[in-house]
Amino acid sequence: MAGSGAVTRNTLRQQIADALRDEVLAGRLPPGTEFTVKQIAEQYEVSATPVREALVDLSAQGLLESVQHRGFRVRVFTVDDFRGMVEARALVVDGVFRRLCERGSGPGAGEALVSVRRRADEARRAALSGSLEVLIGYDLRFWRELSGLIGNAYISDFLHRIRVQCWVFAVPHLLRDPKLREALWCRHGELVDAVTRGDAEGMRALVRDYNEQGLAWAEGLEAAAGA
């Protein structure tokens, strides 16, 4: 029975980290927001230990920053940060596509893509309707499952982390965008089609379109800020 407490605490730690990450991704904890371990512990009515551990975990993922003698702060990402994220994500995704093409559509590949396609359909519907919070959830699952097809958890986890950071940067700006739906990429289904065909160039073309759209949007933010 001695181990049950540790399991419970670790589970609580993950639940708190997930809940806070969702708050950041939804824009309810905007970049620059500061809070203490005590405030979060009181909010969730839990002890300080799992909260502190959850906040340290989110700091290690690059979503929070420790503020000396003041607690933690939601990290503020710049447009230059976003450009770097897009470049890193493009390099990782290209490697994922290369591995998928090398493996081909072997036994079970079609079945594995069924769930990915479902996520793609949901992400597309959310993007077309302008449902940002719903889109983020399905988009993260889509890329997590797609990258998971190559069977390397390190790559999948790294890509997921970059994608979360991209969304953390984008969400506050998107929430203020009167043309929100036009700013949301919705070609997830086409990407699954290209993966199903083993069409490497088609995959890369779609991701180039995705990255170019994101970078053009970010450059617009920069131009508006400098005006």
Question: Across the chain, which distance is largest between two alpha carbons, in Å?
Answer: 63
CATH classification at residue 151: 1.20.120.530
123 and 180 assigned to the same domain: yes
Phi, psi for 66 (deg, rounded to 5): -80, 130
Name the residue type at position 92: V
43 and 119 assigned to the same domain: no
pLDDT at position 6, please? Answer: 44
What separation in angstroms does the CA of 186 have from each of 123, 182, 192?
7, 10, 12
70 and 99 assigned to the same domain: no
pLDDT, mean of residues 152-168: 95
* pTM of the complete model: 0.89
pLDDT tens digit string along 117-129?
A: 999 999 999 999 9
Query: Is there a contact between 189 and 120 (Cβ–Cβ < 8 Å)?
Result: yes
109 and 69 assigned to the same domain: no
Q: Which residue range forms the structural domain that includes residue 46? A: 2-74
As a whole number of angstroms, the distance between CA 91 and CA 155 comes to: 11
pLDDT tens digit string along 169-201?
A: 999 999 998 889 989 999 999 999 999 888 999
pLDDT at position 2, please? Answer: 35
Question: What ranges in 2-78 are assigned the alpha helix state H?
Answer: 2-25, 37-44, 48-60
36 and 94 assigned to the same domain: no
Residue 36 has, within 13 A of its CA and on its CB side, a CA count of: 6
